[in-house]
Structure 1
Amino acid sequence: MNTITDIPGHARIKHFIGLIRVSTRRQADENLSLEVQEQRIRSFVENTPNATLNLHIETQSASKLSARRSVLKAALEEARTTKGTLVVVRIDRLSRNMDVLPLLKGVRIYSLDQGFVAPKRLKELVAEAHRESKVISDAARISAAERRAKGQLLGNRSTLHIAQRNGCVRNKARADNKVQRLVDIFRTNSRLQSLTHRELSLTLNSMGFFNQVNGSETVPWTKGSIRAPRAKAMKILMSAQI
């Protein structure tokens, strides 16, 4: 099993950026669950004296275009700006799409299962993960085609309306929670109420309060995404003063 001593200059590493990921079809896999990945990465980092860890959690297909994976982009940006080491359980948690390679230039990457990954080896591992993904995808398409040919319905349509309703409820609850947290922050520090949308987004990000976009994914605020929550939070504050 790989250890921290596998990393050249490991004693000098002070900051790790952990990336853990599941896709919807792999969430039931106990060996790759978010909890298992997080536990392994935290245990690994604890073996480095005085090192810090910031964890990025993603629920997304690794085959998706990297430019559309906001959590991956945030993790890579942090790795560059902090000169930290990006840690994953294994490379297929990072990506199964070859388009990620240009984005990884200059980023130190360590896989718990595969050790420190140099650029040439990284390309080989991503290519291998891409081939595995294609095999899985092709098998799924063939299976679906065979089921359609037999007249079988794909998916559980009998519960679709329930899933859609539950999704709407969760989305509203998540949006309301963001607004309430913003209200609490404004009450604690009233000067933030007068900041521009851009200034406010940068301040909230520096405070560690990020924009939660689904059950497990958070992304940095932007001046566009903070606009509506800020307006709702200010409306609540103004109503309380009347």
Structure 2
Amino acid sequence: MKQFIKYFRVSTRRQGDSGLGLAAQERDIDLYLSTYAETPWEVIGEFTDVQSGNDSDRPELQKAMALAEKTGAVLLVAKLDRLSRKVSFISTLMDRKKLNMTVASFPTADKFMLHIYAALAEQEREFISLRTKQALAPLKGTGKLGGNRGNIDRANAAARKVADDHAAKVIDTIAPLKEAGLTLQQIADTLNKSGVLTSRGGQWHPTTVSNILKRA
């Protein structure tokens, strides 16, 4: 019988207490188990960390990996960034020969492919950060962006430029999905599962998809 160990991560205690974030991860994991997992299967453990994805010292993840290596079970996570947002940390997991793991949103990906996905996601985050800094650079003459009407207007213009540039980048992905009849929520789910980030480096929601379509 195929055995799995579920691992969840949320960034804040509020998310952990309220279930925000956890519910979406549980949904994706359950979808994988019901659609892709070999039958019969069983879940032999669940672990949850309430920590940033940039924090590599996560006790519950260490427990989950240790149990997976001991039993031969598969460590199952909803998305790659639930393990880490650092490609260097993902690389260390790939080197653990006894660790078998699966990412629900990439159900057929092997370790090598997951490593590539992690590297691409990290590059995109770095690019978004750099682009935002360059857009705001002209506003730093006084050491802060606020203070008077002119600075506020320039800050708003810079933010709009970042949003417009990002909309132009992702509209070729979003438009065909909309034309195919997908709802805004379905489009948002597709983008999130594919590792595509919003202009602010966050997750997609129906409203953010709608905003992109309006800008386009």
Give the TM-score of the pair, scaled to structure 2: 0.50
Give the TM-score of the pair, scaled to structure 1: 0.45
